[in-house]
Structure 1
């Protein structure tokens, strides 16, 4: 195994970072300083040290996390709480989030120390589907749905979005669904919102532009007040996980992520 790959999978840091550590002489193999990231080592018998401490081989890890609203998808932040606040620091060195969810978006977030896994899921050419459940102020008629399905302009100097899938779940007036919609996101809405039309549904996209789901729905006249990612590829969020809880992916779930690729 390559030395940089070993260190990354042992949660010392991401592949790019550990290459720097190696080149700067911070790593020893069998008590000898090695400065070549591509150096081959035997993870079973060689003794690897980083800054004088023996590194144990942890292997690749894959977490499913049910992200709550109010946390940003980042390692650290001087102002906001982050998704890593839910994890024990000692076992998360080298682990990173796969893609991002907005601060007020809930749901399925994956974390790993496997860079190839991240690339395969996030690479635009792979067209991995991500499905979001939403509540929005507004309505979605047949023409609106067609625009979303065929591609729509969501920003100046941006190309059309790639074709999406839209499925309407419920629609009607806000007063009919007020007990199902999160009130905290409606604090800045006109006081007459009880008589506004609302719609819920599922939007499936294969891109990852900033605030893409919200911007796509805004482009057809809908203001998103609740958003939750429910699936990536063939992997569904485990709804038995409480918000803020996480667990390892099972082998079956791992395979579902890449079905059809």
Structure 2
């Protein structure tokens, strides 16, 4: 790998900034100053920046407990991105593996591994997502059967995929879906002439939101959690 690419991939510096650092003799390889951005690194080479060893970061995987008022986007001029909840050193290069609406809370996954996030979000992989839903009105009696058969969303040509519904009480339910259509949960209950008043995502596939995480907090995924969604 080129030296400038290694440094840019494993720090918050751009390739241009890396080149300036190298010109100032702040980068060494095996104890020797290297100014050539195209220097080819071997697997055993030790790279230092300001005498501090640089190590390959590898892919990063985080779970975040999203609060209301944040968007799973980086291009909304009116609302803060969930990335702003992360420390500066953790934010660099991450994207959201699936989204939640501004007023929805719960589990959001963040990573810099595009193939991994595709497996989480692609409809082809049928990764289930479980939501806790609070409704404005008591749920109709045949809701479970209708969701299992698939419901017709306004503006959609096809029925939704079968969904699992579990009643907690008349106005609180657990809903598990394997799709990610725009505002899907809200639109599914709208098809039953009901309204979602609160929505919280509890799980993605086998991965459940860590109960130790308060809203706005996050932590790295364990190796087992990463593998469970791979």
The TM-score with structure 1 as length reference comes to: 0.70
- The answer to whether structure 1 residue 255 and structure 2 residue 227 are counterparts is yes
- Taking structure 1 as reference, are residues 94 and 223 closer, same or farther at Cα in structure 2, changes over 3 Å only? same
User: Residues of 1 paired with 2:208 and 2:56: CA distance?
Assistant: 30
- The answer to whether structure 1 residue 65 and structure 2 residue 86 are counterparts is no
State whether residues 9 and 60 of structure 1, in contact with CA within 8 Å, keep that contact through their aligned partners in structure 2. Answer: no
- Secondary structure of 2:169's partner? strand
State whether residues 8 and 94 of structure 1, in contact with CA within 8 Å, keep that contact through their aligned partners in structure 2. Answer: no
Q: Match of 1:160?
A: 159
Q: Match of 2:196?
A: 224
State whether residues 2 and 37 of structure 2, in contact with CA within 8 Å, keep that contact through their aligned partners in structure 1. Answer: no
**In angstroms, what is the RMSD of aligned CA positions?**
3.3
Q: Match of 1:110?
A: 109
- Taking structure 1 as reference, are residues 100 and 6 closer, same or farther at Cα in structure 2, changes over 3 Å only? farther
- Taking structure 1 as reference, are residues 113 and 7 closer, same or farther at Cα in structure 2, changes over 3 Å only? farther
Q: Match of 1:179?
A: none
Show structure 2 runs of 5+ residues with no match: 23-33
Q: How does 1:82-231 map to 2 (within 5 A)?
A: 82-171=81-170, 199-231=171-203
- Taking structure 1 as reference, are residues 101 and 44 closer, same or farther at Cα in structure 2, changes over 3 Å only? farther
Aligned residues, how many?
Answer: 213
Q: What's the CA shift string for 1:168-188, capped at 9, x where partnerless?
A: 1111xxxxxxxxxxxxxxxxx
Show structure 1 runs of 5+ residues with no match: 35-39, 172-198
- Taking structure 1 as reference, are residues 91 and 217 closer, same or farther at Cα in structure 2, changes over 3 Å only? same
Cα displacement (A) at 1:91: 2.9
- Secondary structure of 1:121's partner? helix
- Taking structure 1 as reference, are residues 45 and 84 closer, same or farther at Cα in structure 2, changes over 3 Å only? same
State whether residues 133 and 202 of structure 1, in contact with CA within 8 Å, keep that contact through their aligned partners in structure 2. Answer: yes
